[in-house]
Amino acid sequence: MTETFGSIALTIGGGRVETAARFDVINPGTGGIAGTAPDAGQAELDLAVAAANAAFPAWSARSDAELQAACTAVADMLEAHAEELAQLITAEQGKPLAGIGSRWEIGGAVGWARYTAGLSLPMQVLQDNDQGRVEMYRKPLGVVGSITPWNFPVLIAVWHILPALRTGNTVVSKPSPATPLASLRMIELMNEVLPSGVVNSVSCQDTDFNMGAAMSGHDGIAKIVFTGSCGTGQKVMQSSAGTMKRLTLEMGGNDAGIVLSDADPEKIAEGLFWGAFINNGQTCAAMKRLYVHDDIHDAVCKALVAYAGNIKVGEGTREDSVLGPVQNQMQFDKVARLVAQARAKGQVLLGGDAGEGLFFPPTIIAGLGADDPLVYEEQFGPALPVIRYSDIEDALAQANALDVGLGGSVWSGNVDKAKEVAKRMECGSVWINSHGMIQPNVPFGGVKKSGFGVEFGEEGLKEYTTIQAVFS
């Protein structure tokens, strides 16, 4: 595939903006070029921020009903172009079109957009008595800067952009240089139903110019919402300090799953697999460590390997592919390194050997402990360590030992017993007998170095507003 999607441009102030240079976007499934993207710099960023600020007064003055209708129109536009966007995602991200892949991602984006459109933050009366009336209003912040990763390029962009629009903010969106095409096209489509300047895009190769740092430090941006690695999130926080920006940071995790002794290995095997390997493990809230009670350790491993052994890994346009490649060479090398280190000590139950190109098979390794890199370092790929334990206190101590805490799970035949264990896990979300199943109506965020602030639901919507109290 050579420059199939090479005509996509920036969208700034409602119009196409070309850049002096473009950069290649690699198709991780074929090794070819999926397309080219605009390589923007400070001038384009300043233009986008100015356009968003110019659009803000009129957009923020719209009624709640008008904002809801506009967000619904965005959802309709995404749905109308679902297949086009799915094809773009597969070409640049690598995930299969079918199954829990690109079409699933677009379906989720449409559903999330519709749900967000239906939310509202009405005025609240805090006091109304003979001492006076106090009303509390939630007001938009201004321009929101969105910085998104490469694992779910459209879905996460929708998570950032729609709440901003729904609350009357305007947006400058920067996609990952690894997967800019679908996001840029999505914003082109949004601009067909939104006023000029309400949503703008900037893409950058991030080599000679660091667009994320420039956005974080830009005095024309009121808030940054970021999804990505812990290290990059820390840099966003540092570079935003001078302008006192509002921040929502959803950063990496190293989610632990704990299987109690009363769980049924055969019943939980499928859920364990998808908890760990959804999107090829390239998911912030995927299960990265699995602690299994000694009584059923071997049976769980056997059932998990039996299920995983039937998963087809292949190029994303093949309808029989269930998992695709690792998205980029850097991430592939990290997974390969961690697996190589793990196999020197542990027992490789499945996989372990890299395939051609960026393909890496689902890999399950037992016999590891807390001091092994595959356990304490987030792999963000298709490799799962299974750690044996005999004391639940030890399992909880190991699960909570790391300095991140995004998600976790407990697997048991007794839900009440599992909830008691779940409440002791140090993470923002805990699932019982599943893992990572986020919902648009439930706040989602991490603790410790996994970030702060939440997304989704009314609590997530509030993150895009400031409070004003009116006394009368």
**Residue pLDDT, tens place only, 187-230:** 999 999 999 999 999 999 999 999 999 999 999 999 999 999 99
At 7 the pLDDT is 84
Residue found by looking up tokens 């901003």 in the block: 164
- The answer to whether the predicted template modeling score (pTM) of the entire model surpasses 0.95 is yes
Known active-site residue 250: yes
Give the pLDDT of residue 4. Answer: 56
Whether 280 and 209 share a structural domain: no
Residues 133 and 235 placed together within one structural domain of the fold: yes
Same domain membership, residue 291 and residue 207: no
Q: Looking at residues 20-37, what average pLDDT do you find?
A: 97
Whether residues 285 and 174 fall in one domain:
no
For residue 300, the cross-strand partners are none
- Specify whether 429 is located in the same domain as 284: yes
Residue 5: what pLDDT? 63
What's the token pair of residue 74?
């965005």
Residues 396 and 365 in one domain: yes
Parallel/antiparallel/unpaired status of strands 132-140 and 124-129: antiparallel
Say if residue 158 is in the same domain as residue 297.
no
Phi–psi pair at 423, nearest 5 degrees: -65, -15
CB-based contacts of 172, cutoff 8 Å, min separation 6: 45, 48, 49, 52, 143, 144, 145, 146, 200, 201, 202, 215, 221
- pLDDT score at 1: 37
Query: Are 120 and 183 found together in one domain?
Result: yes
Segment 293-308, tens digit of pLDDT: 999 999 999 999 999 9
Average pLDDT, the chain: 97
Catalytic residue among 284, 426, 427, 455: 284
Residue numbers of the domain that contains 179: 10-251+450-471
Q: What is the dihedral of CA 375, 377, 381, 386, to 10 degrees?
A: 0
Q: pLDDT band at residue 29, thresholds of 50, 70 and 90?
A: very high
Residue 2 lies in a domain: no
278: in domain? yes
Q: What is the DSSP string of 294-333?
A: TTTHHHHHHHHHHHHTT--B--TTSTT-SB---SSHHHHH
Check whether residue 432 and residue 457 sit in a common domain. Answer: no
Looking at the structure of the chain, the number of domains it has is: 2
Catalytic residue among 44, 92, 250, 426: 250
pLDDT-derived band at 6 (thresholds 50, 70, 90) equals: low
Residues 225 and 289 in one domain: no
The model's pLDDT over 75-116, given as tens digits with 9 standing for 90+, comes to 999 999 999 999 999 999 999 999 999 999 999 999 999 999
Please report whether residue 125 resides in a domain.
Answer: yes
Q: Report the CATH number that the domain containing residue 392 is assigned in CATH.
A: 3.40.309.10
Same domain, 239 and 334: no
Are 206 and 266 part of one and the same domain? no
**Domain assignment present for 202:** yes
Q: Is the pLDDT of residue 167 over 50?
A: yes
- Residue 374 pLDDT > 80: yes
- How many CB atoms are closer than 10 A to CB 459? 14
pLDDT in tens, 331-366: 999 999 999 999 999 999 999 999 899 999 999 999
Q: Is 284 a catalytic residue?
A: yes
In a domain, 1, yes or no: no
Q: What is the CATH number of the domain that holds 168?
A: 3.40.605.10
Q: Which amino acid is at 95?
A: K
Q: Listing from the earlier edge strand, what are the strands of the sheet with 124-129?
A: 124-129, 132-140, 465-471
pLDDT at residue 2 in the model: 42
pLDDT of residue 355: 85
